[in-house]
Amino acid sequence: MHSCKISVVIPVYNMEKTVARAIKSFIMQKYENKELIVLDGGSTDKTLEEIEKYKEFIDFFVSKKDGGSSAAIASNMKHISGDYVAVLGADDWYEEGALEAMAEAWHAEQADVFYGDFNEHLPDGQVIKKSAAKVDLDMVYYQCPFNTNAAFVKHNLLNLYYTNYWIGHKDELDMASDHYLWLVLYHNHYKFSYILSQNPIVNFSMSGRSNMNTKKLCEQNRNVLDYVLPKDDASYARRAKICDLYCATRMLTYYSEEIEKGIFQSTLKKYIHGTEEYIIFGAGHMGQEAYKVLSMIDISPKYFVDNYTTTNSGCYKEIMIYSPEVLRDERNLTVILASVGYEDEMEKQLLDMNLSETIKIIRYTDICSGVLQSCQG
């Protein structure tokens, strides 16, 4: 039976403590039709020494200053020979059977892009299981709807992206290149398919990642929308508004760490009152951001509710995650809708449960927009 060749590319720069783990996670994959490409950006620590230990497993290696991961991949596409290409962060690592799961998905449905589940490893040691089974791919107009490290794309399409799209904006996309890739392919109607597997595809480390580049990332995500969608497109105004709201939620976290804490707290308290009981509707990334912001004024939600409770770990920061059905038994609660683009549907869901007399509904995007306007004003 014919099998697809999978190329795994690991771009790396000064990651001496984690690159070996990433490489070993590739080596342990039992799937045989594979190759490993390691692109070092001219590391000055002991990264090269670590890579040298596994040189017999590496099909192509280069070490030189490259201008970032995307530039390194673009300039070395000729050395990548797989039918599908995956990019693995040097501080991330595959689960056992990841490449086999991809190959099985390919045999069932030969899509252009495959994506799967991942484990998110927080700096405090907590691991959150993230499912991509019910991802709304249309969210790619505003952000990456799945983890790029858990994705596989056809070689010819990746080459097309770097040749025809990325090249025109390479100096503006050092942080949002993967977002641009997925949006280009989705907008041009290429086929995306979910990898149904028992285990997550990849472990994604949040250690070392911070909000210091949040503002820049938001600006680039917003620009990506303009690169792909003409302003005279019928959907542009709506999508641009949603994109701006999403950026506002990300920027709120950024401002919470960049401005004087007392000023931020007093501004936030205009929208959130400590005398009320809160729950957060949405336990994904947006809900976690809302939790973080609330904690700055010593407010902890009573619990989370989420329509996809089976896709979450059951709790976040020791706070339980339930189905929205539990709200039927509640009185005098304030429900924060932690989402962008789906607030109307979430609010309608609660009203259809006849909860209008027992709960108060507020939108996290309204909180973010209001606080940002006050802080920036």
DSSP string, 232-282: TSTTHHHHHHHHHHHHHHHHHHHHHHHS-HHHHHHHHTTT--TTSEEEEE-
Identify any residues that bridge with 321 across adjacent strands, giving them in sequence order.
Answer: 304
Query: Which of the listed residues 165, 180, 209 is the one where a domain comes to its end?
Result: 209
Q: Is the pLDDT of residue 213 over 90?
A: no
Q: Are residues 68 and 168 in the same domain?
A: yes
Q: Are residues 201 and 73 in the same domain?
A: yes
Region 204-226: mean pLDDT is 75
Region 213-228: mean pLDDT is 84
The model's pTM: 0.79
Residue type for position 63? S
287 vs 290: CA distance, rounded Å: 5
Q: Are residues 54 and 194 in the same domain?
A: yes
Supply the CATH number for residue 139's domain: 3.90.550.10
Tell me if 217 is assigned to some domain.
no
Specify the number of domains making up the chain. Answer: 2
* Nearest CA-CA partner of 371 in 248, 262, 247: 248
Region 110-130: mean pLDDT is 88
Q: Are residues 204 and 297 in the same domain?
A: no
Tell me if 83 is assigned to some domain.
yes
- Local confidence band at 312 (pLDDT 50, 70, 90 cut-offs): very low
Tell me if 252 is assigned to some domain.
no
Tell me if 144 is assigned to some domain.
yes
Q: Is the pLDDT of residue 132 over 90?
A: no
Supply the CATH number for residue 288's domain: 3.40.50.720
Tell me if 153 is assigned to some domain.
yes
Tell me if 39 is assigned to some domain.
yes
Query: Which of the listed residues 165, 183, 209 is the one where a domain comes to its end?
Result: 209
Q: pLDDT digits over 169-212, tens only?
A: 988 888 889 999 999 999 999 999 999 999 999 999 976 554 45
Tell me if 41 is assigned to some domain.
yes
Residue type for position 111? A
Residue 221's pLDDT is what? 85
Q: Are residues 201 and 267 in the same domain?
A: no
Note down the domain range covering 103.
6-209
Q: Are residues 49 and 191 in the same domain?
A: yes
Q: Are residues 268 and 198 in the same domain?
A: no
Q: Are residues 205 and 265 in the same domain?
A: no
226 vs 141: CA distance, rounded Å: 10
Are 14 and 43 within 8 A, CB to CB? yes
Q: Are residues 56 and 189 in the same domain?
A: yes
DSSP alpha helix (H) spans, the chain: 19-27, 47-52, 69-75, 98-108, 155-164, 177-187, 214-228, 236-258, 261-268, 285-295, 343-352, 364-376
Are 319 and 313 within 8 A, CB to CB? no
Tell me if 278 is assigned to some domain.
yes
Q: Are residues 59 and 186 in the same domain?
A: yes
Q: Are residues 300 and 362 in the same domain?
A: yes
Q: Are residues 147 and 274 in the same domain?
A: no
